[in-house]
Amino acid sequence: MAGTDTYDELIMEHIRNARNYRAPKRPQLEAKGANPLCGDEMVLYLGFRRGRIEDIAFQCTCCGISMASASIMTELLQGGNPAEAKGLIRAFLALLDGRDDSGAAGPTAGQEAILATVRKFPSRARCAALPWTTLDSILEEPAAARRAR
């Protein structure tokens, strides 16, 4: 397990150089999420091709934890299919809530960095969860409703 300093460096790297922080020209889907307790607001954009997430991006007015979590999430889910994404979302949210999702693979280094930060600052759990719950809201909709947007 990496040290706390390593995790802090990884979080800071994702804050300074957030991956996929942009608004695509023509996203197929878009979802807005907010954390009213701290004022974070986020928009996630998705594009699919052949049943896989071809493009995933975000923009936000948010704290560093939300931004880093979104950056890590977009890297992790790029190229996956919606069912895989939903499984990863459930597993990560369970870990954030302190529940063991024993059926899932262990967290990635990026996810572990987010978890380490939340362990130090438990009040930031909702910030870390925001991108994941926002994405989950898109994927929970029936495919026909998603296309209709």
Q: Is the dihedral of CA 128, 55, 49, 78 positive or negative?
A: negative
- The pLDDT of 139-149, averaged and rounded, is 55
- H/E/C letters for each residue in 98-114? CCCCCCCCCCCHHHHHH
69-125 residue pLDDT tens: 999 999 999 999 999 999 999 999 999 998 865 556 678 999 999 999 999 999 999
Domain ranges across the chain: 4-148
Q: How far is Cα 102 from Cα 75, in angstroms, rounded to an integer?
A: 23
- The pLDDT of 34-51, averaged and rounded, is 94
* DSSP string computed for 7-53: HHHHHHHHHHT-TTBS--SS-SEEEEEEETTTTEEEEEEEEEETTEE
Q: What CATH architecture is 4-148?
A: Alpha-Beta Complex (3.90)
pLDDT at residue number 5: 73
2-24 residue pLDDT tens: 556 766 899 999 999 999 999 99
